[in-house]
Amino acid sequence: MINSIILSYTTFIYFLAFFLYLLFMVMGRAGFGRLATLVTLLGLIAQSFAIVFRWIESYQLGIGHAPFSNLYESLIFFTWTIIFLYMIVEWRTKNRTLGTFVTPLAFLAMAYASFSPGISSKIQPLVPALKSNWLISHVITCFFGYAAFGLSFALSLMYLLKQRDTPLRQNLFLRLIPGQAILDELNYQMIVIGFLMLTLGIITGSVWAHSAWGSYWSWDPKETWSLITWLIYASIIHSRLVRGWRGKRIVFLSFIGFCCVLFTYFGVNYLAGLHSYAK
């Protein structure tokens, strides 16, 4: 399948992008940064075409559906959302250092999807529970939320690293990272975006669950951990707005939140529940 081949090559494109972003930060050469942006954009375009080709191919096989139905396709779409959102942030901030921390997430997700022996890249028919018009809206909102939380995680790492930057340490790698106040604000913005998208994802998922299983909420492991994740990020926003928390407190809470995101995405697949098809 042409889409799987393109996606396999895209994995290495994102690794090359990470390597170029790293060279940019280590050597301070702007040319490496510009080249890294172009390579990342190339990977995003190639991946976009691959997703469209996969969608078209599913219709050619007579099982037409959006390519969001299994773990392989969800990993591919998660990678697409995190790179798409990162490119917007880079364009808005005119700073490329975040790419050094985001592209490894994209590479690892793509590598796991493309080369893990337990994950099949075959286009498969939808199970009955997934045959709904709510599939696209639910998956898109949830994964844009996950992507925003992924960027928040990367920004939190940068914040901790920036704390090591002092006038006595002329470390080019750290000096290229924006100031802590900027990182803190960007981190909060990503958390708000992720929280809003996850909220929409939970709402669309509840409506979908009612049409598929006759109940808006079943305390399925995926639903339960989605709620836990939502509550953690809600507490971060509350702490920021009401108690004025900033800096390290928000960073550590965002680490906890992203761990919950990963468990919601991967961990619950090993638990019996209505979302067991996600395997």
**How many helices (H) and strands (E) would you count in the chain?**
9, 0
Provide the pLDDT for residue 279: 45
pLDDT value, residue 84: 97
Note the pLDDT of residue 277.
46
The angle at the Cα of 36, spanning 32 to 37, to the nearest 5 degrees, equals 120
The model's pLDDT over 130-155, given as tens digits with 9 standing for 90+, comes to: 777 777 888 899 999 999 999 999 99
- Give the separation between CA 108 and CA 95, rounded to whole angstroms: 23
> What was the pLDDT predicted at 163?
80
Burial class of 99 by CB neighbour count within 10 A (0 to 12, 13 to 18, 19+):
buried
**DSSP secondary structure, 79-104, as one string:** HHHHHHHHHHHHHHH---TTHHHHHH
Q: Is 276 exposed, middle or buried (0-12, 13-18, 19+ CB in 10 A)?
A: middle
Walk along the chain (279 residues) in steps of 10 and give the mean pLDDT of each run: 86 96 90 95 96 89 82 92 96 93 95 83 77 82 95 94 67 81 94 96 86 74 89 95 88 94 80 50
Nearest CA-CA partner of 151 in 64, 246, 222, 86: 86
